[in-house]
Structure 1
């Protein structure tokens, strides 16, 4: 098989379009001018572009048949689980929305893998727009975090929306920071990208974007760990074990301190103070209470441990009613366990959790096998998936986190292209193999 290493213009346009579609709903400036219309338009355009250029994408898909088999098994389980356990209580549009939109964004992510720099540039551009808005607001009104919370920097005028700005901004800045590392083709660009990381991390801490902060730290640790893995697998494994133990110990100490700390400032806006207040707050709507309540139900109902309670049943059991799909957000859609693996265990049981976990970590494992041949853009793209995976463990919802499917498929698409490249390299004479591998 011959592989074309020159990226066609159509592939770049497709990648930019589908990335825009993926972030059309959460991108706040689009919210101000009609995010649903932009989402629908860019999605339709993305589908058309993928359909026009379907053959190379199909050839890529043939190289990751192993991933597709596991993917089919998992979503087959989701369908059966819904029909058997959820159908009496949850509308079929919830299942249709999961299947249709998850498929759409996985196709988008897979297609975008053909032009990674276009994806990275869109993410960097979105963060640049956020930065301009933030700087403009600070210049006019001063401290963003006065009174202990992030103010409505975008001028939305709806408290229910602006209250989530800290995480939205943190997520976009974190993705852009990783994208900048992938676009650092020269030494100066790499120095600028690396030099910006401490500023991004400090700003995330300042606005208490805790989920994005942890996700970015984990993604950077993954990049460092992957580089170590290439040189010494034993050293990398030892480092991972050490980090896990240290994080577990630190988390335990923080939790104990939070339970005993009675002098935390009720207006302090930093990430640690907010976390302590959240741990101490007994109200059922806070994340710690939701996680504890979910785990209690799982552990106290062993008869449902194997196959779960049904897709979409968590908000029903919580008393908020059934969820629907993206374009019709019911009250039930606003409530989920805030941990995608815990949600999968709750709704699909151990069988679903096993399949989902294999799927979630498979792109990372396959990437590490070929890490030495990855370009900076490819490494950054995999780190974007790690960022999103960690985020989903802190605040993700299986049915509605479409960016997870996008970045999952983006990482799988990179693997597919590497496998295609491997076939092409094997058919080359030795001199051509050497030139191609050195270029990678």
Structure 2
């Protein structure tokens, strides 16, 4: 069976009401799909933004309703049927339907898996089941932990990635004492350059965040079922009031795996976002796809939006092939970090510095520009994004010359 033999206006079931799932549904209607579209989500809320959960939402700057990608009326107007608070239990590929947790069955011509990801958790032996240990992934998570953030309390943040650093920044702004531990030799080990990591290390320390690199948690202990103390593998121990854990995620592939679909660091899809069954597609955190001769999986809002659109195009027989344009961002204190490209494999990096808190780091492999980290430099981010997407690689001597207007590079 090929995609061309499947009714493009047949019923579409989208599993996962996150950024990617929303993008699929909205784009299907924009591209003229006239058949039934059902969006299944295991949370009670309609699709919402997750990044603010560890920032503005915890600070009380953003209400729950402002997190929603669209008001409920949008789905009614677009005839997108929301099935919220339920999950898909099983995919029947032969009959082309899915069984929901409420025992209802939904038929499909195309099934889209936008099942996202879930946090890696501390196990029970590490004290992961104690009260006062939190993860930031959902509105429910953020609501549960919000009352803990009171000035003068001591929070331990486990993990020096973006989630951990953002939680540390929020905690510091709210007047808490903050200790952050990272088992790797430095923070942002997997996702950012040494220069970028050094900048954020200094930023956090300037706000009295205690950062401990190369330090691994042994276990958490507690009293009456609630965490009270943290023990490190190097023998150190200290009292804590609560713990926020940000040690990475797992792609949610179990449903696809049980249905016999190919898995390769995520649900394996081709350039048109099709899984090993041509009636099933995947997008977002859960999907791995071909990119520049290798297979990658991206955990970002931008990828969810763009890959969701690509899925809709494939269903509507207008697929051009998905070419990822990786970009990311993080807000910490009064600093905005924007990243374009993937720096993995770079062999050199240079800095273009305007001031202490306005700079950019340009990553190269040989003469090829791979990625740019822009710190409080939104214009540089937009210019470098266009350069990388156009395949242009201005040399290090050019991008570090403050006398050169970077905009001129777009036309060279």
TM-score, scaled to structure 1: 0.26
Quick check: which one's helix share is greater?
1
| TM-score, scaled relative to structure 2 | 0.27
